Structure 1
Amino acid sequence: MTVFFANAAVKILLPPEAQKAEATLRRLGFGKLCDNAILSLNRAAESAAAQAKPIFIDAIKQMTIQDALNILTGNKDAATQYFRRATTIALTAKFKPVIHTSLSTAGAANIYGQLATQYNRIPFTFNKINPDLDDYVTARCIDGLFYEIALEELNIRQNLSARTTPLLQKVFGYFDKRKQ
């Protein structure tokens, strides 16, 4: 399972338009509210990411020989790019309702709504915050997932010990020899 909250590289923060509001709210004593909102965003993404496996398996089953050759002979992130192209639409469709439910159940939509409402009530705030989080968290979740996939792909390409299955050893070993 992908962990978002504890991993600074993929941790989902408040949307960029809300970060100024977050700073203001923290100064006004609403730090716990901000922390709860951020934690809820990440827990929703973690719940959604747990649903990804069948989508990736489907992408592997539909992979052509040309796709596989492009991955093996392509750039260091060729597999990641293949999976991004082959799965993003399905991941979005699968993740968005899970994230919506998780944000609602955990109270994150309510917490973020409160955060946005509190900020929008502050006098002289001109850039009001949109309290809808589903699209934002879904996109950040998918970005975080592909960040993790890219790291793993690079590890497999560079480290023999990361090739943990006989198939990975055979395939990458063959192409390593051909590159020499």
Structure 2
Amino acid sequence: MLYKSLILLAPLMLCAANWQDAVNTAVSATSTTQKSTTTSGTTTSQSTATSGVKEALSLGTKQAVSLLGKEGGYLNNAAVKIPLPASMKPVATAAEKLGGKSYVDDFVKTMNNAATKSVPKTASILSDTISNMSVEDANAIVNGGNTAATDYFKTKAGTKLLSAIMPIIKESIKESQVMSSYQSLKGFAGGGNATSGLTNNAIVGQASSIAKGLGMGDSVPSGDEDIEDYIGRKTLDGLFYMIAEKEKALRSNPMASGSSIIQQVFGK
């Protein structure tokens, strides 16, 4: 009798065992799917954030370089206009009092024109810096302050940018006669007439001598290299300022970008 009962129950036991195996398999598959979905979701999120940041930075840097690289990009924008070096202001004041304001204006104009001519050279470096951005960098920018991206550029590309623009600054200085204006300004402030036929060395020497006599010896920069470095640094200051302004505008109103991915990343 027991034997017959076991025979009758065997199919039911086998069915139950198969059902349990099926349940275990389904649970395992569901768990695996959930893990896969979670991992996929995280990857997509990070990928989206990185793509959004890169697109935003590309847009902002292109706009900044375009604005500064057009005629009058520096000179006609009070926020980035390169002023006289602090050490030259006493000399400029003296020149203006003697009717030499045009020399001051020419010097400022030629400095700013040199900056405008050099800034397009920064585009490729900025682009490379964006391309090489890591996921961690992108996340830090998304969750950072209003100028986190601009600060990233300063840290990652500041030195490269300066090295890239300096040859153009130097060439622009020669082409736009920055040093001629600079020396004329010093000569005029020193009491010499820039059109009197004096050589550049004579003008500089006369300006330096009179400046020292007036107690303004330290107000005359020492040479060409100082001016080149000054223009280079101010060129980058203006570039970073414009990038920061574009970044802040984008963060405050990502809808204006017209990009769905930028809106998704920054439109929190």
Structure-2-length-normalised TM-score:
0.62
Residue of structure 1 in register with 2:149 after alignment: 79
1:126 counterpart letter in structure 2: G
- Is 2:231 aligned against 1:137? yes
Equivalent runs, 1:45-56 vs 2, <5 Å: 45-56=115-126
Residue of structure 2 in register with 1:114 after alignment: 184
Task: Pick the aligned partner of 2:249 from 152, 155, 176.
Answer: 155
Q: Which has the higher helix share?
A: 2
Deviates more, 1:43-52 or 1:112-121: 112-121
Residue of structure 1 in register with 2:88 after alignment: 18
- Counterpart CA distance in 2 for 1:160 and 1:167 is 10
- Counterpart CA distance in 2 for 1:52 and 1:162 is 25
- Counterpart CA distance in 2 for 1:68 and 1:56 is 15
Q: When the two structures are aligned, how many residues end up with a matched partner?
A: 174
- Counterpart CA distance in 2 for 1:112 and 1:76 is 38
How many angstroms does 1:128 deviate by? 4.1
* Structure 1: runs of 5+ lacking an equivalent: none
Residue of structure 1 in register with 2:162 after alignment: 92
How many angstroms does 1:171 deviate by? 1.8
Q: How high is the sequence identity, in percent, across the aligned residues?
A: 30
2:134 counterpart letter in structure 1: T
In our comparison, the structure showing a higher alpha carbon Rg is 2
- Counterpart CA distance in 2 for 1:126 and 1:160 is 52
Any runs of at least 4 consecutive aligned residues in structure 1 with deviations exceeding 6 A, and if so which? none
- Is 2:197 aligned against 1:127? no
How many angstroms does 1:163 deviate by? 2.4
Describe the shift of the 1:171–1:101 C-alpha distance in structure 2 as closer, same or farther (beyond 3 A): same
Residue of structure 2 in register with 1:69 after alignment: 139
Task: Pick the aligned partner of 1:165 from 235, 243, 259.
Answer: 259
* Structure 2: runs of 5+ lacking an equivalent: 1-65, 190-206
Residue of structure 1 in register with 2:98 after alignment: 28
- Counterpart CA distance in 2 for 1:140 and 1:72 is 28
- Counterpart CA distance in 1 for 2:147 and 2:115 is 23
- Counterpart CA distance in 1 for 2:219 and 2:254 is 51
Which digits, 9 at most, give the CA deviation of each residue in 1:21-61, with x for residues without a partner? 11111111111111011000000001111111101110011
SS in structure 1 opposite 2:129?
Answer: helix
1:100 counterpart letter in structure 2: K
Counterpart contact for 2:100–2:188, Cα < 8 Å: no
SS in structure 2 opposite 1:51?
Answer: helix
Describe the shift of the 1:107–1:163 C-alpha distance in structure 2 as closer, same or farther (beyond 3 A): same
Counterpart contact for 2:122–2:161, Cα < 8 Å: yes
- Counterpart CA distance in 2 for 1:128 and 1:15 is 9
CA RMSD of aligned residues (A): 1.4
Structure-1-length-normalised TM-score:
0.91
